[in-house]
Chain A
Amino acid sequence: MVDLAQIWVYLARDPLAALTATLLAWMAGLKLAALCRWHPAANPVVFAVVILVALLLVTGVEYRAYFEGAQFVHFLLGPATVALAVPLYRQWGHVRSSAPAALMAVVSGGAVAAAVGVALGWAFGASPAVVASLAPRSVTTPVAMGIAEQIGGLPGLTATVVLASGVVGATLGPLVLNAARIRDWRARGLAMGTAAHGLGTARAISVNTTAGAFSGLGMGLNALATALLLPLVWHFFAG
Protein backbone atom coordinates (compact mmCIF):
# COMPACT_ATOMS: atom_id res chain seq x y z
CA MET A 1 0.00 0.00 0.00
CA VAL A 2 1.22 3.51 -0.79
CA ASP A 3 1.85 5.60 2.30
CA LEU A 4 0.23 8.90 1.34
CA ALA A 5 1.23 10.59 4.59
CA GLN A 6 4.89 9.86 3.95
CA ILE A 7 4.70 11.22 0.40
CA TRP A 8 3.01 14.35 1.76
CA VAL A 9 5.75 14.85 4.35
CA TYR A 10 8.30 14.72 1.54
CA LEU A 11 6.37 17.14 -0.68
CA ALA A 12 5.78 19.66 2.10
CA ARG A 13 9.45 19.70 3.07
CA ASP A 14 11.31 19.41 -0.22
CA PRO A 15 11.85 22.52 -2.36
CA LEU A 16 10.82 20.63 -5.51
CA ALA A 17 7.06 20.86 -4.90
CA ALA A 18 7.08 24.58 -4.05
CA LEU A 19 9.24 25.41 -7.07
CA THR A 20 7.04 23.36 -9.41
CA ALA A 21 3.87 24.92 -7.97
CA THR A 22 5.32 28.42 -8.51
CA LEU A 23 6.09 27.77 -12.18
CA LEU A 24 2.72 26.08 -12.81
CA ALA A 25 0.85 28.92 -11.06
CA TRP A 26 2.74 31.46 -13.22
CA MET A 27 1.83 29.51 -16.39
CA ALA A 28 -1.80 29.41 -15.27
CA GLY A 29 -1.60 33.16 -14.57
CA LEU A 30 -0.31 33.80 -18.11
CA LYS A 31 -3.09 31.60 -19.55
CA LEU A 32 -5.74 33.50 -17.58
CA ALA A 33 -4.28 36.85 -18.68
CA ALA A 34 -4.31 35.64 -22.30
CA LEU A 35 -7.95 34.54 -21.89
CA CYS A 36 -8.72 38.11 -20.76
CA ARG A 37 -6.93 39.26 -23.96
CA TRP A 38 -4.12 40.87 -21.92
CA HIS A 39 -6.52 43.42 -20.51
CA PRO A 40 -4.46 45.74 -18.26
CA ALA A 41 -6.58 44.75 -15.24
CA ALA A 42 -5.78 41.03 -15.73
CA ASN A 43 -2.28 40.83 -14.23
CA PRO A 44 -0.62 37.38 -14.39
CA VAL A 45 1.35 38.09 -11.18
CA VAL A 46 -1.90 38.64 -9.26
CA PHE A 47 -3.42 35.44 -10.67
CA ALA A 48 -0.35 33.40 -9.75
CA VAL A 49 -0.17 34.88 -6.22
CA VAL A 50 -3.89 34.25 -5.61
CA ILE A 51 -3.57 30.63 -6.80
CA LEU A 52 -0.55 29.98 -4.55
CA VAL A 53 -2.04 31.74 -1.50
CA ALA A 54 -5.20 29.63 -1.88
CA LEU A 55 -3.05 26.52 -2.21
CA LEU A 56 -1.07 27.34 0.96
CA LEU A 57 -4.25 28.08 2.94
CA VAL A 58 -5.96 24.88 1.78
CA THR A 59 -2.97 22.60 2.42
CA GLY A 60 -1.85 24.39 5.60
CA VAL A 61 1.75 24.66 4.35
CA GLU A 62 3.59 27.56 5.99
CA TYR A 63 4.94 30.43 3.91
CA ARG A 64 8.45 29.79 5.20
CA ALA A 65 8.33 26.18 3.98
CA TYR A 66 6.98 27.33 0.61
CA PHE A 67 9.73 29.93 0.28
CA GLU A 68 12.41 27.24 0.76
CA GLY A 69 11.55 26.11 -2.76
CA ALA A 70 10.40 29.39 -4.26
CA GLN A 71 13.65 31.12 -3.26
CA PHE A 72 15.29 29.77 -6.40
CA VAL A 73 12.93 31.91 -8.46
CA HIS A 74 13.20 34.82 -6.00
CA PHE A 75 17.00 34.71 -6.27
CA LEU A 76 16.82 35.57 -9.98
CA LEU A 77 15.46 39.04 -9.10
CA GLY A 78 19.07 40.10 -8.43
CA PRO A 79 20.54 39.09 -11.83
CA ALA A 80 17.37 40.41 -13.51
CA THR A 81 17.94 43.82 -11.90
CA VAL A 82 21.52 43.81 -13.22
CA ALA A 83 20.18 42.74 -16.64
CA LEU A 84 18.19 45.99 -16.88
CA ALA A 85 21.49 47.56 -17.97
CA VAL A 86 21.15 45.74 -21.32
CA PRO A 87 17.97 47.41 -22.69
CA LEU A 88 19.29 50.69 -21.29
CA TYR A 89 22.57 50.19 -23.19
CA ARG A 90 20.78 49.23 -26.42
CA GLN A 91 18.68 52.39 -26.21
CA TRP A 92 21.50 54.63 -24.96
CA GLY A 93 21.64 56.66 -28.17
CA HIS A 94 18.00 57.47 -27.51
CA VAL A 95 18.26 57.95 -23.76
CA ARG A 96 21.48 59.98 -23.66
CA SER A 97 20.13 63.36 -24.75
CA SER A 98 17.21 63.20 -22.32
CA ALA A 99 19.12 61.84 -19.30
CA PRO A 100 19.25 65.15 -17.32
CA ALA A 101 15.52 65.76 -17.87
CA ALA A 102 14.84 62.15 -16.88
CA LEU A 103 16.81 62.51 -13.64
CA MET A 104 14.85 65.61 -12.61
CA ALA A 105 11.52 63.97 -13.43
CA VAL A 106 12.40 60.77 -11.55
CA VAL A 107 13.63 62.53 -8.40
CA SER A 108 10.54 64.77 -8.18
CA GLY A 109 8.24 61.87 -9.06
CA GLY A 110 9.85 59.60 -6.48
CA ALA A 111 9.48 62.31 -3.82
CA VAL A 112 5.76 62.71 -4.65
CA ALA A 113 5.29 58.93 -4.52
CA ALA A 114 6.79 58.71 -1.03
CA ALA A 115 5.15 61.89 0.32
CA VAL A 116 1.61 61.08 -0.87
CA GLY A 117 1.80 57.52 0.50
CA VAL A 118 3.06 58.67 3.90
CA ALA A 119 0.56 61.55 4.13
CA LEU A 120 -2.44 59.35 3.29
CA GLY A 121 -1.33 56.54 5.61
CA TRP A 122 -0.80 59.02 8.45
CA ALA A 123 -4.05 60.94 7.83
CA PHE A 124 -6.11 57.73 7.92
CA GLY A 125 -4.65 56.54 11.18
CA ALA A 126 -2.12 53.86 10.26
CA SER A 127 0.39 53.03 13.00
CA PRO A 128 3.91 54.60 12.74
CA ALA A 129 5.47 51.26 11.70
CA VAL A 130 2.90 50.86 8.91
CA VAL A 131 3.49 54.46 7.73
CA ALA A 132 7.26 53.79 7.65
CA SER A 133 6.57 50.64 5.63
CA LEU A 134 4.62 52.76 3.13
CA ALA A 135 7.37 55.34 2.55
CA PRO A 136 9.65 53.33 0.18
CA ARG A 137 6.57 51.98 -1.69
CA SER A 138 7.57 52.96 -5.21
CA VAL A 139 11.06 51.39 -5.37
CA THR A 140 11.96 47.83 -6.28
CA THR A 141 11.36 45.19 -3.56
CA PRO A 142 14.90 44.45 -2.26
CA VAL A 143 15.77 48.17 -2.07
CA ALA A 144 12.45 49.03 -0.41
CA MET A 145 12.90 46.34 2.26
CA GLY A 146 16.34 47.70 3.14
CA ILE A 147 15.04 51.27 3.41
CA ALA A 148 12.04 50.20 5.54
CA GLU A 149 14.38 48.54 7.99
CA GLN A 150 16.45 51.73 8.29
CA ILE A 151 13.47 53.97 9.09
CA GLY A 152 11.62 51.63 11.46
CA GLY A 153 9.15 49.94 9.14
CA LEU A 154 8.32 46.25 8.74
CA PRO A 155 10.36 44.84 5.80
CA GLY A 156 7.89 42.00 5.14
CA LEU A 157 4.90 44.34 5.04
CA THR A 158 6.90 46.65 2.76
CA ALA A 159 7.39 43.77 0.30
CA THR A 160 3.63 43.29 0.14
CA VAL A 161 2.95 47.02 -0.19
CA VAL A 162 5.62 47.40 -2.89
CA LEU A 163 4.13 44.55 -4.90
CA ALA A 164 0.61 45.93 -4.52
CA SER A 165 1.85 49.33 -5.76
CA GLY A 166 3.57 47.62 -8.69
CA VAL A 167 0.42 45.74 -9.60
CA VAL A 168 -1.76 48.87 -9.33
CA GLY A 169 0.73 50.86 -11.40
CA ALA A 170 1.19 48.17 -14.04
CA THR A 171 -2.57 47.62 -14.22
CA LEU A 172 -4.02 51.15 -14.14
CA GLY A 173 -0.90 53.17 -15.04
CA PRO A 174 -1.44 53.10 -18.82
CA LEU A 175 -5.04 54.31 -18.34
CA VAL A 176 -3.87 57.17 -16.09
CA LEU A 177 -1.18 58.11 -18.62
CA ASN A 178 -3.82 58.21 -21.36
CA ALA A 179 -6.12 60.34 -19.20
CA ALA A 180 -3.26 62.76 -18.45
CA ARG A 181 -2.55 62.89 -22.21
CA ILE A 182 1.06 61.76 -21.90
CA ARG A 183 1.94 60.44 -25.36
CA ASP A 184 5.74 60.61 -25.30
CA TRP A 185 6.93 56.97 -24.92
CA ARG A 186 9.97 58.15 -22.97
CA ALA A 187 7.80 59.99 -20.42
CA ARG A 188 5.35 57.06 -20.21
CA GLY A 189 8.18 54.61 -19.52
CA LEU A 190 9.81 56.85 -16.92
CA ALA A 191 6.52 57.28 -15.07
CA MET A 192 5.87 53.52 -15.00
CA GLY A 193 9.39 52.68 -13.79
CA THR A 194 9.43 55.43 -11.16
CA ALA A 195 6.04 54.65 -9.62
CA ALA A 196 5.70 50.90 -10.27
CA HIS A 197 9.33 49.58 -10.36
CA GLY A 198 9.85 46.14 -11.95
CA LEU A 199 6.19 45.34 -12.51
CA GLY A 200 5.66 48.64 -14.31
CA THR A 201 8.85 47.98 -16.27
CA ALA A 202 7.69 44.47 -17.21
CA ARG A 203 4.52 46.00 -18.61
CA ALA A 204 6.36 48.84 -20.37
CA ILE A 205 8.77 46.35 -22.03
CA SER A 206 5.82 44.36 -23.38
CA VAL A 207 4.27 47.47 -24.95
CA ASN A 208 7.16 49.46 -26.46
CA THR A 209 10.98 49.09 -26.44
CA THR A 210 11.65 52.79 -25.90
CA ALA A 211 9.17 52.86 -23.01
CA GLY A 212 10.82 49.72 -21.62
CA ALA A 213 14.30 51.25 -21.65
CA PHE A 214 13.10 54.46 -20.00
CA SER A 215 11.12 52.46 -17.47
CA GLY A 216 14.26 50.54 -16.50
CA LEU A 217 16.09 53.88 -16.27
CA GLY A 218 13.32 55.35 -14.08
CA MET A 219 13.32 52.31 -11.82
CA GLY A 220 17.12 52.33 -11.40
CA LEU A 221 17.37 56.09 -10.82
CA ASN A 222 14.47 56.05 -8.36
CA ALA A 223 16.02 53.14 -6.44
CA LEU A 224 19.33 55.05 -6.20
CA ALA A 225 17.74 58.40 -5.32
CA THR A 226 15.28 57.00 -2.77
CA ALA A 227 17.89 54.79 -1.09
CA LEU A 228 20.20 57.79 -0.73
CA LEU A 229 17.67 60.51 0.19
CA LEU A 230 14.69 58.95 1.98
CA PRO A 231 16.51 57.86 5.19
CA LEU A 232 18.07 61.35 5.47
CA VAL A 233 14.75 63.16 4.98
CA TRP A 234 12.96 60.70 7.31
CA HIS A 235 15.40 61.19 10.19
CA PHE A 236 15.31 64.95 9.64
CA PHE A 237 11.52 65.06 10.13
CA ALA A 238 11.17 62.26 12.65
CA GLY A 239 13.98 63.73 14.73
Chain B
Amino acid sequence: MIPGLATLLCCQLVGEVLARALHLPVPGPVIGMALLFVGLLLRDQFLPAAARPDPGAPGLGRVADTLLSNLGLLFVPAGVGVVVYGPQLARSWAPLSLAIVVGTLLSIAFTGRVAQALMRRFG
Protein backbone atom coordinates (compact mmCIF):
# COMPACT_ATOMS: atom_id res chain seq x y z
CA MET B 1 0.00 0.00 0.00
CA ILE B 2 2.69 2.54 1.02
CA PRO B 3 4.99 1.71 -1.95
CA GLY B 4 2.00 2.29 -4.21
CA LEU B 5 1.24 5.68 -2.66
CA ALA B 6 4.94 6.61 -2.78
CA THR B 7 4.99 5.75 -6.50
CA LEU B 8 2.06 8.10 -7.17
CA LEU B 9 3.63 10.93 -5.15
CA CYS B 10 7.04 10.45 -6.83
CA CYS B 11 5.46 10.72 -10.29
CA GLN B 12 3.58 13.86 -9.24
CA LEU B 13 6.69 15.39 -7.70
CA VAL B 14 8.80 14.77 -10.81
CA GLY B 15 5.89 16.15 -12.89
CA GLU B 16 5.74 19.35 -10.81
CA VAL B 17 9.52 19.83 -11.00
CA LEU B 18 9.56 19.24 -14.79
CA ALA B 19 6.64 21.64 -15.32
CA ARG B 20 8.48 24.40 -13.45
CA ALA B 21 11.97 23.69 -14.76
CA LEU B 22 10.87 23.58 -18.42
CA HIS B 23 8.12 26.25 -18.06
CA LEU B 24 5.52 23.82 -19.39
CA PRO B 25 1.94 25.12 -19.31
CA VAL B 26 0.80 21.59 -18.39
CA PRO B 27 0.14 20.91 -14.68
CA GLY B 28 2.42 18.58 -12.71
CA PRO B 29 -0.13 15.82 -11.98
CA VAL B 30 -0.93 15.44 -15.70
CA ILE B 31 2.78 15.07 -16.50
CA GLY B 32 2.96 12.62 -13.55
CA MET B 33 0.16 10.56 -15.08
CA ALA B 34 2.02 10.40 -18.41
CA LEU B 35 5.26 9.43 -16.60
CA LEU B 36 3.59 6.61 -14.63
CA PHE B 37 1.89 5.31 -17.75
CA VAL B 38 5.09 5.31 -19.84
CA GLY B 39 6.96 3.81 -16.87
CA LEU B 40 4.55 0.87 -16.65
CA LEU B 41 4.80 0.21 -20.40
CA LEU B 42 8.63 0.33 -20.23
CA ARG B 43 8.61 -2.10 -17.31
CA ASP B 44 6.64 -4.59 -19.38
CA GLN B 45 9.05 -4.03 -22.25
CA PHE B 46 12.24 -4.69 -20.25
CA LEU B 47 11.01 -7.03 -17.49
CA PRO B 48 9.25 -9.80 -19.38
CA ALA B 49 8.81 -11.74 -16.11
CA ALA B 50 6.82 -8.95 -14.43
CA ALA B 51 3.30 -9.97 -13.46
CA ARG B 52 0.74 -8.52 -15.84
CA PRO B 53 -1.54 -6.63 -15.77
CA ASP B 54 -0.47 -5.96 -12.17
CA PRO B 55 0.71 -2.35 -12.15
CA GLY B 56 4.23 -2.16 -10.81
CA ALA B 57 4.89 -1.33 -7.15
CA PRO B 58 3.11 -3.52 -4.59
CA GLY B 59 -0.29 -2.07 -3.76
CA LEU B 60 -0.21 0.51 -6.56
CA GLY B 61 -3.31 -1.02 -8.11
CA ARG B 62 -5.12 -0.97 -4.78
CA VAL B 63 -4.20 2.65 -3.95
CA ALA B 64 -5.21 3.78 -7.44
CA ASP B 65 -8.54 1.93 -7.23
CA THR B 66 -9.25 3.40 -3.78
CA LEU B 67 -8.51 6.95 -4.92
CA LEU B 68 -10.42 6.63 -8.18
CA SER B 69 -13.49 4.97 -6.68
CA ASN B 70 -13.81 7.97 -4.32
CA LEU B 71 -12.91 10.58 -6.93
CA GLY B 72 -16.12 12.51 -6.31
CA LEU B 73 -15.16 13.26 -2.69
CA LEU B 74 -11.95 14.96 -3.81
CA PHE B 75 -13.93 17.60 -5.73
CA VAL B 76 -16.04 18.61 -2.71
CA PRO B 77 -13.63 21.15 -1.07
CA ALA B 78 -13.16 23.07 -4.35
CA GLY B 79 -16.91 22.86 -5.00
CA VAL B 80 -17.73 24.52 -1.68
CA GLY B 81 -15.71 27.49 -3.03
CA VAL B 82 -18.93 28.50 -4.78
CA VAL B 83 -19.83 30.47 -1.59
CA VAL B 84 -17.05 32.98 -2.32
CA TYR B 85 -18.40 33.79 -5.79
CA GLY B 86 -22.01 34.44 -4.73
CA PRO B 87 -22.14 38.08 -5.99
CA GLN B 88 -20.39 37.30 -9.29
CA LEU B 89 -22.70 34.36 -9.91
CA ALA B 90 -25.76 36.46 -9.09
CA ARG B 91 -24.69 39.08 -11.64
CA SER B 92 -23.94 36.80 -14.58
CA TRP B 93 -25.86 33.64 -13.78
CA ALA B 94 -27.68 33.57 -17.15
CA PRO B 95 -24.64 33.53 -19.50
CA LEU B 96 -22.75 31.28 -17.08
CA SER B 97 -25.42 28.61 -16.77
CA LEU B 98 -26.20 28.73 -20.51
CA ALA B 99 -22.54 28.33 -21.41
CA ILE B 100 -22.10 25.53 -18.87
CA VAL B 101 -25.20 23.48 -19.71
CA VAL B 102 -25.42 23.98 -23.48
CA GLY B 103 -21.64 23.98 -23.96
CA THR B 104 -21.07 20.80 -21.96
CA LEU B 105 -23.93 18.82 -23.47
CA LEU B 106 -23.08 19.91 -27.03
CA SER B 107 -19.44 18.95 -26.60
CA ILE B 108 -20.39 15.55 -25.14
CA ALA B 109 -22.63 14.79 -28.13
CA PHE B 110 -20.03 16.14 -30.58
CA THR B 111 -17.04 14.30 -29.09
CA GLY B 112 -19.03 11.06 -28.84
CA ARG B 113 -20.20 11.31 -32.45
CA VAL B 114 -16.74 12.09 -33.82
CA ALA B 115 -15.13 9.36 -31.71
CA GLN B 116 -17.68 6.75 -32.77
CA ALA B 117 -17.33 7.64 -36.45
CA LEU B 118 -13.49 7.65 -36.32
CA MET B 119 -13.31 4.38 -34.39
CA ARG B 120 -15.67 2.65 -36.76
CA ARG B 121 -13.42 3.65 -39.65
CA PHE B 122 -9.95 3.16 -38.12
CA GLY B 123 -10.51 0.43 -35.56
Q: Other than the known A109-B114, A127-B92, what 8 A-B pairs have Cβ atoms closer than 8 Å?
A: A48-B76, A53-B83, A73-B77, A78-B12, A101-B121, A120-B95, A137-B100, A191-B115
The distance in angstroms between the C-alpha atoms of A63 and B37, with both chains bound, is 36
Decide if B104 touches A113 in the complex (CB within 8 Å).
yes
Q: Which of A71, A109, A116 contacts B77 (CB 8 A)?
A: A71
With known contacts A71-B77, A112-B110, A196–B104 Cβ distance under 8 A: yes
B46 to chain A: closest CB distance in Å?
15
Decide if A187 touches B116 in the complex (CB within 8 Å).
yes
Which 3 residue pairs of A and B lie closest in terms of their CB atoms, listed nearest first? A109-B111, A70-B77, A191-B112
Q: Is B47 an interface residue (CB 8 A)?
A: no
Interface residues of A, dominant DSSP: helix
- Write the chain A residue with the least CB distance to B65: A86
- Write the chain B residue with the least CB distance to A118: B99
Decide if A187 touches B115 in the complex (CB within 8 Å).
yes
* B-chain residues with CB within 8 Å of residue A110 when the two chains form the complex: 107, 111
Q: Is B80 an interface residue (CB 8 A)?
A: yes
Q: Which of A1-9, A34-42, A170-178 contacts B (4 or more CB under 8 A)?
A: A170-178
Q: Which of B11, B30, B96, B104 contacts A138 (CB 8 A)?
A: B104
The distance in angstroms between the C-alpha atoms of A130 and B88, with both chains bound, is 9
Q: Is B103 an interface residue (CB 8 A)?
A: yes
Give 1 or 0 for each of A14-30: 1 = CB within 8 Å of chain B CB.
00000000110110010
A-B contact pairs, 12 of them (CB 8 A): A29-B72, A63-B83, A71-B77, A81-B29, A85-B11, A87-B64, A101-B118, A157-B85, A173-B104, A173-B105, A176-B109, A199-B75
Decide if A224 touches B26 in the complex (CB within 8 Å).
yes
Q: Which of A44, A118, A159, A231 contacts B78 (CB 8 A)?
A: A159
Q: Is A156 an interface residue (CB 8 A)?
A: yes
Q: Interface extent on A, as a size class?
A: 35 or more
Q: Which of A53, A71, A92, A105 contacts B111 (CB 8 A)?
A: A105
Decide if B33 touches A176 in the complex (CB within 8 Å).
no
Decide if A187 touches B119 in the complex (CB within 8 Å).
yes
The distance in angstroms between the C-alpha atoms of A57 and B80, with both chains bound, is 11
The distance in angstroms between the C-alpha atoms of A138 and B101, with both chains bound, is 11
The distance in angstroms between the C-alpha atoms of A81 and B29, with both chains bound, is 6
* A-chain residues with CB within 8 Å of residue B72 when the two chains form the complex: 26, 29, 43-45, 48, 199, 202
Decide if A223 touches B104 in the complex (CB within 8 Å).
no
* B-chain residues with CB within 8 Å of residue A148 when the two chains form the complex: none
* B-chain residues with CB within 8 Å of residue A88 when the two chains form the complex: 37
Interface residues of A in 189-225 (CB under 8 A from B): 190-192, 194-196, 198-199, 201-202, 205-206, 218, 220, 223-224
